[in-house]
Amino acid sequence: MNKNKKLNVQNNTALTLIKQETKLELQHSKKLIKTAKMDKKYKINYHIFAKQKRELELQVTLNDLTKLNGCINSGSYTFNCNFFFFEENSTPTVKYNFTGVIDLICQMTLEIFPFEIFAQNTLAITDDDRFLKNDLYEPFICETEILDLRDIIKEEVILAIPLVPKKDSSTCKMSKKPSYYSEQEDLSEKRENPFDILKELKKR
């Protein structure tokens, strides 16, 4: 009886482990499917879109902005975007604007604060800017026929972030400690000049 009980316990434990592993595998598969769908949503054939003069209004979510700039707090950020594709001198071109809010880390106090971003631009999409026929707009290099819209957003985010992010420039000023030289200057000002003392003695 004891042997049978042990076998039952072992079998139940094994079944539980199998169920847990299966559940984890299913969750991982769902996550991969969701990611693949999101990737497909953001990737477009810019040649076709430009010829058809397609417009897109969508939300773009970015999860890896910290890799681009260490001043960005880790997290998921969503941007409201508008894209309009067209051809200019036979060159696929995109006009866009987007808004969003990201969390930056103040470089003076290390506090996290919200930073609003608004960007608008027009880019000439090409795989080699040496052969660009459209010189009216800034080139955007895309080496394949598929353009990932997230790449455009990432570049704009990098450009929008201040070189040294500060939560509030008026309240974020660090208290400046007096240098050794300034302290010595203060002391010398306080000390009496011996020549001044001699002058006073001569007057008497």
pLDDT of 130 strictly over 60? yes
pLDDT of 191 strictly over 60? no
Sequence-ordered alpha helix ranges (H) in 43-148: 46-51, 65-68
pLDDT of 29 strictly over 50? no
Domain that holds residue 106: 43-160
Residue type, 123: L
Establish if 11 belongs to a structural domain. Answer: no
> Torsion-angle region of residue 89: left (phi > 0), alpha (psi -120 to 50) or beta?
left
Establish if 60 belongs to a structural domain. Answer: yes
Percent over 90 (pLDDT), the chain = 54
pLDDT of 182 strictly over 70? no
Establish if 72 belongs to a structural domain. Answer: yes
pLDDT of 181 strictly over 60? no
pTM: 0.65
| CA-based max dimension of the chain | 121
Establish if 81 belongs to a structural domain. Answer: yes
Establish if 82 belongs to a structural domain. Answer: yes
Establish if 21 belongs to a structural domain. Answer: no
Q: What is the pLDDT of residues 131-140, one digit of tens each?
A: 787 678 999 9
pLDDT of 190: 52
Q: Which of 1-5, 92-96, 190-194 has the lowest mean pLDDT?
A: 190-194
Counting the structural domains of the chain, the total is: 1
pLDDT greater at residue 173 or residue 93: 93
Establish if 146 belongs to a structural domain. Answer: yes
Structure tokens at 153: 């957003």
